[in-house]
Structure 1
Amino acid sequence: MGVRPDPRYACPVLSKDLIRLYPELYHVAADGAWPSIERHGLLSTSALVTRWGVRQGAPQAAILTKRRGESIELEHPDYGTAVIRHQKAIHESSLAAALEDLAPSEWYTMLNDRVFFFLQKRRLEELLAARSYRDDAHTVLTLDTFSLVNAHEDDIELTTVNTGFAQRFSAEPRGRDSFRSIEEFAHPTRAHASTKVVDVAELAVYRGVRDIREHVKRVERMRDGTVLERFV
């Protein structure tokens, strides 16, 4: 676990800034999800429904192009159960008002093509304490940023938007240009990550991280910020 890539393959300067400011990344998955993630990788929702055999057309569209008011469980005779997380923090009319050049269905498709990580631990803590999450246990993965960036830089995007949140009077504008490559993202070069200025809200990896074992530092079962069990 936590294998580091060969340091001779250095990151570009902007990637180094990202790694220096945010040495760890955090992903929240469903309770009990680690064995499946360890086996199949951390898949995007679109990659997951394909692997779990959800039929193309209307069955996939119902998952990938609409808001999920509740989590969805998929069953497979060989792979077992996979849980697709709900999107309760998105208020549909607020999202529609915030979108600049997309229909809501297109935004959901974009989200479902990616897996997301927080770069600041406080954002992880805020999510775990949120009303829709605090009563439940969750699987929390902590990844090494250096390792992930070295392996997946071409598929990594950054955004200033909290992509899974859109509420009345608090939905950030968003659209096709919300996701930028590390090179394109206007990231500061200051010495320390800021707790007051939102430089980058989330890091996304297109289609997911199949070699997740190579980048994991910790895997914990948590509820409302409290560690209940540690697997890695």
Structure 2
Amino acid sequence: MEHSNFLDLFPKLYHLTFAANLPGIRAHGLHSAASLADLHAFDDTEREATLIQRRRCIQNLHGISLRDQHAASEKKMKSCLVGITIPEWLTLLNSKIFLFVEKEKALRLAEVYAEYPNVLLEVDTAQLLATHAAHATLCRIASGSFTNPRPRGRNSFIPLNDYVYRKKRDTPAELTVDAPIPNILEIATVTSVAA
């Protein structure tokens, strides 16, 4: 998919996070869980619990709130992972920053966490890709959700230039970035998401 076509279709991208994470984002930019573990020098036990094992509840470490992975039960993951183990899959997911291409999906996720204050980052796609296109991939499915356990593996994350989009049904579920985005608040607007 040509970058220009992607920009025409998806001029904005959406990242939902807990409001408690906003001070850290202001200070350090937007990071994956793995990058945050490096930034805050997680010890081996913390790394194991946050990056390799399924997070069964929201984890609060070093001033960071990481979402649980309750939708990714081991049974469901075993049923659909292709060419990758569960720890490898979780490690892969935790190396990525996830952005929705449709605002409605971000707001649906906010409903799941309605008891917590959330903020939505509405990101300018052109500005993001100007600096992070080399680290961007598209995924046809919500890779961390196993409500509908469709097959998935390393090849689920497709470089932007290789992604085939012919019609609306080819709309990706998410764009991921495999590197920190230090200037995220310069290229995004932040809004509170009401419970």
TM surpasses 0.5: yes
**1:59-78 residue pairs with structure 2 within 5 A?**
59-75=46-62
Counterpart residue number, 1:25: 13
Looking at structure 1, the residues matched to 144 and 52 of structure 2 have their Cα atoms a distance apart, in angstroms, of 14
Scaled by the length of structure 1, what TM-score is found? 0.79
Scaled by the length of structure 2, what TM-score is found? 0.93
The one-letter code matched in structure 1 to 2:32 is S
What are the Cα deviations for residues 92-150 of structure 1, in whole angstroms up to 9, with x where unaligned?
211111101111111101111010000011211221223xx133221211100011011
Q: Classify the secondary structure of the residue corresponding to 2:161.
A: coil
5+ unaligned residues in a row in structure 2: which ranges? none
Looking at structure 2, the residues matched to 208 and 161 of structure 1 have their Cα atoms a distance apart, in angstroms, of 22
Tell whether the 8 Å contact from 2:59 to 2:65 is kept in structure 1 after alignment.
yes
Counterpart residue number, 1:3: none
The one-letter code matched in structure 2 to 1:82 is I
Matched, 1:41 2:21: no
Counterpart residue number, 1:200: 172
**1:1-232 residue pairs with structure 2 within 5 A?**
14-55=2-43, 57-75=44-62, 81-130=63-112, 133-167=113-147, 170-188=148-166, 194=168, 197-216=169-188, 218-224=189-195
Q: Classify the secondary structure of the residue corresponding to 1:142.
A: strand
Change (3 A) 1:58 1:35: closer
What are the Cα deviations for residues 55-102 of structure 1, in whole angstroms up to 9, with x where unaligned?
2x4431221111101111112xxxxx1112211222221111110111
Q: Classify the secondary structure of the residue corresponding to 1:210.
A: coil
User: How many corresponding residue pairs?
Assistant: 195
Tell whether the 8 Å contact from 1:45 to 1:84 is kept in structure 2 after alignment.
yes
Higher strand share goes to which structure?
1
Shift of 1:223: 2.9
Tell whether the 8 Å contact from 1:140 to 1:221 is kept in structure 2 after alignment.
yes
Q: Classify the secondary structure of the residue corresponding to 1:203.
A: strand
Task: Report the aligned-residue RMSD.
Answer: 1.6
Looking at structure 1, the residues matched to 46 and 21 of structure 2 have their Cα atoms a distance apart, in angstroms, of 23
Tell whether the 8 Å contact from 1:52 to 1:74 is kept in structure 2 after alignment.
no
- From the CA coordinates, give the structure whose radius of gyration is larger: 1
Q: Classify the secondary structure of the residue corresponding to 2:141.
A: coil
Looking at structure 2, the residues matched to 214 and 128 of structure 1 have their Cα atoms a distance apart, in angstroms, of 23
Tell whether the 8 Å contact from 2:20 to 2:64 is kept in structure 1 after alignment.
no
